[in-house]
Structure 1
Amino acid sequence: MALKLYPLGIQTFERIRREDKLYIDKTEYVYRMAHTSGVYFFLGRPRRFGKSLLVSTFQSYFEGKKDLFKGLAIEKLEEEWTEYPVLHFDMSGGKHMNPQQLEEYLGYRLKDEELKWGISSPANGSNNRLIDLVNAAYRKSGKQVVVLVDEYDAPMLDAAHEKEQLDELRNIMRNFYSPLKFCEAKLRFVFLTGITKFSQLSIFSELNNITNISMNDDYAGICGITKDELLTRMSADIDVLSKAMGMDRTQTIGRLKDNYDGYHFSASSPDVFNPFSLLSCFAEKKFEAYWFASGTPTYLINMMRKYDVQPVDITRVEASASEFDAPTENMPTIMPLLYQSGYITIKDYNRDYDYYTLDVPNKEVRLGLTKALIPSYVSPNTLAVTNMARRIAQALDKRDMDGALTLLQTFLGTMPYCTNANSEGHYQQMLYVIFSLLTDYLVDVEVHTPTGRVDIVMLTRTDLYLLEIKLNQSGKSASHQINLKNYRQRFALSGRPITTVGVNFDGETRNISDWIINSSLKFEIKAKQFYAAS
């Protein structure tokens, strides 16, 4: 049986079904939302996560195109298949616009719908035109109207933190959307998608009964591809990829999970894979950073500078929902932007104390984000840095930490001086970025132990390295700070030899001056033995 073609770049449900391309069935969610209480719904998800396809699916469903849903879950659920008038507005083309350009763009979107409903002489003002559209569709069809808005926030994303420009654009959009409340009696269903959450969905300030399903357990898998969907609907695809990569099925699933899984959108969310990266990997038969490469993180890096965010600040953090599922235009920290854009995600939820643990979702995002940080924290020459990191990885694969640090010392000697290299923290950030480029290793910072913290912890294929960093002292003093007996409890269960590394940087040369490596103590304690002893 031949595999179905992947719908890369296709966001229209009808086209996917007509052309018999691969479709991961989300129609049970469509039915559930269409038959629940409420009229107004909002869903926030990162870019390229299938929001536009979901909106298109709703359009085909409400237009009563029953034939497109043959064999899907909704075919057994829906009995009426009522055809409703649908107004569909795609705002994704409204980016990088000034107020006049945005008004013109809205005019074009309205004109497309007006032609469908026979409005030849539109009123003045986008809000009046939308009112007339709803009225015309309601009158001519005799049924309530469905309004679908894709990427509602696109016109405002680039100005999200430029207050004067944002206020102008937001007022235009608020004016455009205002009829959605005014026409409530004539509306059957209103669904809006976007990336960010503006304050109380501020451009919908009059819609005080809008339902935000972004963190609802029942809809956590509505976009993306869940682990269960991958293993059942794409089982044959996994086998084909395994053969192409020369790997067994278990290894392939593990690589897919490491690279593209890890997203969770609620307290009890299933594992969700990035759909764009997953399908691209199956199509190209390569494990590449497809999602990260498809969009520039320049805006994110600029915002990290504005909020003085360090690379290590993006590691595991605990927060309440109000601190990350929060408005982005007046956020006190960068956490809401990181979460809503997909650079960090939910990893755990503590029900007793009602807080979440957030972290980078997977290897693709971690490596892509690390590479994007190289010019800001290591060197503008990203090629030289990645090549140097590759050589360091080769040394560590041979368990040669001394050689790895020599390579790093030589490389740092070729770099221009950095003006802010006057703290241990700067060098910790720099080493974290470099070591995070070692793709098969796990790197963490400020790792807590019963008696203190370790600057950097790195788990390789063979060893666990504990690194302590000093400035203008000595490698010996850094090494002395790592008291292995105090770290036994924290790291014993790694099952790998523990090597401690004390590294000292010289403030004048901005380079490593010396280091001490101690690999004499090995912990290979089994979990049962450890807990029995304690």
Structure 2
Amino acid sequence: KLPIGQQDFRKIRTSGALYVDKTQAIHRLVTEGDYYFLSRPRRFGKSLTLSVIKELFEGSRELFEGLWVEENWDWERRYPVIHFSFSSMGYKEVGLEAAIERALDRKAAEMGLELSGQGISYRFQDLLKKAAREMPVVLLIDEYDKPLIDYLDKDNLPTALAHQKILKSFYSIIKDNDANIHFLLITGVSKFSKVGVFSDLNNLRDITLSPAFSTLAGITQSELEAYFGDEMDLIAAEKEMLPATLRADIQRWYNGYSFDAKNFLYNPFSLLNFFGDRQFNNYWFASGTPTFLVKLLRERNVVQLDNIRLDAVAFNSYNLERLETYALLFQTGYLTIKSLDEFRIYTLGYPNLEVEESMMRHLFSEFRHEEVGASGPTVIDLRQALYANDLPTAIEVLDSVFQSIPHQLFLQKREAYFHSLVYLTFRLLGIYTQSEVNTARGRLDCVVQTPTHIYLFEFKLDQSAEAALEQIHSRGYADAYRQSSKEVVLVGVNFSSTHKAVEGWKAEQVE
């Protein structure tokens, strides 16, 4: 039984649903330290982790039967648990302060306590003090940044900044309640508000990039084999595939997330949906389209999202008013750590095919001002034309890519816009066939391989098709392919920014 979208540990265990045993890592977390902060992408298992910790401290031994921690925990020692989730507070309806106050009152009533004092700071202080009369409390805060990331776009920034102030005063209470708190874990997607929100909490340990806890959420390769091995063999038989081929496909689609450059994880949400549907689909991406991020990338003209090199400082993107593009993409799960060198320089890239394909489609559509669904057919048409060695049709498809862009928008950033769209077209094509794009030092050339042909494209803006072909010749781009058994075709394309169209193209075969 697959717990798709299920974040309540008690429900998972009592319904007999599958639980990947993370209790050894959780035990280490709760016994090694006391104040933690963890950032992970959405739907990555943060809420379930908090739910496990809650049941552990409340002494619900029956839920842990057969799990690692059952024999490694003092079940007699129980702690009061205060668990808040900002995603279910309803602050959009009543306002953030009122929503927090309501959550505090609800928790107090659950614990049989009555709060005094006005305002969220006083009531929170009162709740911690009264709840900790016999034993210090375990404080779990989920999605701390939801009231901020819901309002990141320019129009709503004042709301995000106002929320930041409210949250700062709320969390400042924690610092003076050390004696009342046994354990604290705060989770969220982003770190950009950590300083603005928790500046008073200088003893909060950030374990986001900590190797010790890198596999706390997400599913490892060995966990996949242990819990889903039989299921994968069944699906492989159903699909008439070799088990090793199916495993490689699952890895290509859903693996690849890393927070320490050593352990690579599967996204649990996508994985569970795959096993439920038995189909490869973009489950995680579809569950929350990053409209704001895609718009931000278009405004900043950022489309190349692989081999991004950053130092550790860049991950601490704190400023709501000046968001760091790549840090934000990493925190939200659209980029991940690929490697880390001896100088502590991180290389980021897409985690897997699901994220790469979805992000490319959304960016392609955003630049073209078209519906996302239109991107696939366009690129498939281009692929089919090239597979049929039908260059006139392929050029027509390329021409159509630019037709829907508002003229004014294109003229403002013609060179950058042109490069971005050609890049996205051929990168998307690379999902369906072998296609490489090179945009180094002002060049814009693409290599597309079909079963019978190798096409070398060179693109120019407001020059001529002859100039494009001349560049292919003068730089010797074709030399690397002369030994191929396939036909090598050079294609020079000139694009007019005035008419937003292909103005001329020329092709020649390499003898």
Q: d(CA) in 1 for partners of 2:487 and 2:71?
A: 57
The aligned counterpart of 2:7 is 11
Residue in structure 1 matched with residue 63 of structure 2 by the alignment: 68
Partner of 1:359: 349
| Aligned residues of 1:320 and 1:354 also touching (Cα < 8 A) | yes
C-alpha distance in structure 1 between counterparts of 2:167 and 2:459, whole Å: 51
Contact 2:444-2:460 at 8 Å conserved across structures: no
Q: Identify which range, 251-260 or 465-474, moves more after superposition.
A: 465-474
Task: Report matched runs for 1:53-92 at 5 Å.
Answer: 53-79=48-74, 82-92=77-87
User: 1:332 Cα shift?
Assistant: 5.4
Q: Which residue of 1 aligns with 2:301?
A: 309
Whether the 8 Å contact between 1:466 and 1:500 is mirrored in structure 2 is yes
C-alpha distance in 2, partners of 1:473/1:147?
64
Cα distance in 2 between the residues matched to 1:482 and 1:81: 76
**Residue from 472, 484, 495 that aligns with 1:482:** 472
Aligned residue runs from structure 1 range 236-315, under 5 A: 236-268=230-262, 270-306=263-299, 308-312=300-304, 314-315=305-306
Q: 1-side partners of 2:333 and 2:434: how far apart?
A: 20
> Which amino acid letter does the alignment assign opposite residue 341 of structure 2?
N
The answer to whether 1:22 aligns with 2:22 is no
Q: Is residue 434–residue 450 contact of structure 2 (8 Å, CA) maintained in 1?
A: no
What is the CA distance between 1:280 and its match in structure 2?
0.5
1:436 paired residue number: 427
| Partner amino acid, structure 2, of 1:374 | F
Q: Say if 1:382 and 1:19 are closer, same or farther in 2 by CA, change over 3 A.
A: closer
Distance in 1 (alpha carbons) for counterparts of 2:405 and 2:322: 35
Paired-residue identity, %: 30
Matched, 1:173 2:162: no
Match of 1:350 in 2: 341
How do residues 333-348 of structure 1 correspond to structure 2 at under 5 angstroms? Answer: 333-348=324-339
SS at match of 2:132: helix
**Which residue in the other structure is 1:226 paired with?**
220
Distance verdict in 2 for CA 1:515–1:21, change over 3 Å: same
**Structure 1 position 419 matched with structure 2 position 411:** no
The corresponding residue for 1:164 is 158
Matched, 1:44 2:39: yes
Whole-Å separation in 1 of the counterparts to 2:485 and 2:346: 29
Aligned to 1:127: 121
> 1:117, 1:136 within 8 Å by CA — same for their partners in 2?
no
Q: Report the Cα offset of residue 22 of structure 1.
A: 1.1
Helix, strand or coil at the partner of 2:459: strand
User: For residue 11 of structure 1, what is the amino acid of its counterpart?
Assistant: Q
Change (3 A) 1:172 1:403: same
Aligned counterpart for 1:191 among listed residues 185, 192, 197: 185
Give the secondary-structure state (helix, strand or coil) at the position aligned to 1:501: strand
User: What is the CA distance between 1:79 and its match in structure 2?
Assistant: 4.8
CA 1:59–1:397 in structure 2 vs 1: closer, same or farther (change >3 Å)? farther
| Corresponding letter in the other structure for 1:513 | E
One-letter amino acid of the counterpart of residue 159, structure 2: Q
| 334-343 vs 452-461, which moves further | 452-461
Segment drifting more, 482-491 vs 364-373: 482-491
Which of 138, 145, 152 is matched with 1:153 structurally?
145
Q: Does 1:406 align with 2:395?
A: yes
The question of whether the paired residues in 1 share the 8 Å contact of 2:61 and 2:75 is answered with no
Residue by residue over 1:378-419, the C-alpha shift from the partner in whole angstroms, topping out at 9 and shown as x without a partner, is 242544443222122223344x26255234156358646633
Which position in structure 1 is the counterpart of 2:378?
388
Corresponding residue for residue 324 of structure 1: 315
Change (3 A) 1:478 1:10: same
* Letter paired with 2:241: M
RMSD: 2.9
Q: Bigger CA drift: 252-261 or 142-151?
A: 252-261
Equivalent AA in structure 2 for residue 220 of structure 1:
S
Deviation of 1:119 after TM superposition, in Å, equals 1.8
User: Post-superposition shift, 1:147?
Assistant: 0.2
Is 1:33 the counterpart of 2:29 in the alignment?
yes
How many residue pairs were aligned?
A: 505
Check the 8 A contact 1:216/1:266 in 2, yes or no: yes
Q: Which residue of 2 aligns with 1:530?
A: none
Q: Which amino acid aligns with 2:264?
A: D
Say whether the 8 Å CA contact 2:57–2:79 is kept in structure 1: yes
Residues in 1 aligned to 2:410 and 2:64: alpha-carbon distance in whole angstroms: 60
Q: Secondary structure at the match of 1:178?
A: helix
Separation in 2, partners of 1:496, 1:96: 61
CA distance in structure 2 between the aligned counterparts of 1:17 and 1:517, rounded to whole angstroms? 64
Q: Any idea what SS the aligned residue of 2:407 has?
A: coil
Instruction: Write the letter of the residue equivalent to 1:152.
Output: Y
Q: 1:424–1:469: 8 Å Cα contact kept in structure 2?
A: no
Q: 1:232, CA displacement in angstroms?
A: 2.4
Cα displacement (A) at 1:474? 2.1
**How does the TM-score come out when normalised to structure 1?**
0.86
Flag the 1:130–1:60 CA change in 2: closer, same or farther, 3 A: same
Q: In 1, Cα distance between the equivalents of 2:324 and 2:377?
A: 34
Per-residue deviation, residues 427-459 of structure 1 (Å, max 9, x unmatched):
2211222233333346554455xxx67524455
Structure 1 residues 365 and 192 mapped into 2: Cα distance closer, same or farther (>3 Å)? Answer: same
Change (3 A) 1:397 1:21: farther
Q: Cα deviations across residues 74-131 of structure 1 (Å, max 9, x unaligned)?
A: 2343355621111000111347738x61112112211221012222354322122222
Work out whether residues 370 and 404 of structure 2, in 8 Å CA contact, stay in contact via their aligned partners in 1: no
Which residue identity lines up with residue 313 of structure 2 in the other structure? S
Opposite residue 21 of structure 2, the aligned amino acid is D
Q: Which runs of 5+ in 1 are unaligned?
A: 522-534
Q: Is the 8 A contact 2:209 2:259 kept in 1?
A: yes
- Structure 2 runs not aligned, ≥5 long: none
Determine helix, strand or coil for the equivalent of 1:237.
helix
Task: Decide which of 478, 492, 504 is 1:502's aligned counterpart.
Answer: 492
In structure 2, the CA distance between the partners of 1:97 and 1:128, relative to structure 1 (3 Å rule), is same
Q: What's the CA shift string for 1:213-254, capped at 9, x where partnerless? A: 001111111111122211222111212222333322122112
CA distance in 2, matches of 1:81, 1:110: 27
Kindly provide the amino acid, as one letter, of the partner of residue 131 in structure 2.
A
Q: Is the 8 A contact 1:156 1:166 kept in 2?
A: yes
Instruction: Kindly indicate whether the alpha-carbon contact (under 8 Å) linking 1:479 and 1:500 is maintained by their aligned counterparts in 2.
Output: yes
Q: Secondary structure at the match of 1:97?
A: helix
